[in-house]
Amino acid sequence: FGMSAAEAMACGVPVVGTTAGGIPEVIGDAGLLCPPKNSDMLAEKLDSLLSDSKLRKEMGEKGSRRINELFTWKHSGDTIESYLLLMLQINDSGGTR
């Protein structure tokens, strides 16, 4: 899922992650991504963060907003409720949309 990325982002910490697993879904456009096992690109991304305080601040703020909007209990509950209502509609219509 990318729990450590989500926790860091919630705290306003800029995040660099890989494009593996669920990490891109968590980070979205609020952080920097690179392919797994590409240490050169990872170093470039980290260097860009270290050398650009404005980028660090923007990423921290954007990441915190992303987590607080998309990864809350309310958002999760609303998503599950929408899915369940859709399933009920499909069931009521005889199994087709």
Domain ranges of the chain: 3-71
Q: Give the model's pLDDT for residue 7.
A: 95
Q: Give the model's pLDDT for residue 1.
A: 63
**Are the C-beta atoms of 41 and 34 separated by less than 8 Å?**
yes
Q: Give the model's pLDDT for residue 93.
A: 82
Please state, in angstroms and rounded to a whole number, the distance separating the CA atoms of residues 64 and 11: 6
Into which CATH architecture does domain 3-71 fall? 3-Layer(aba) Sandwich (3.40)
pTM: 0.76
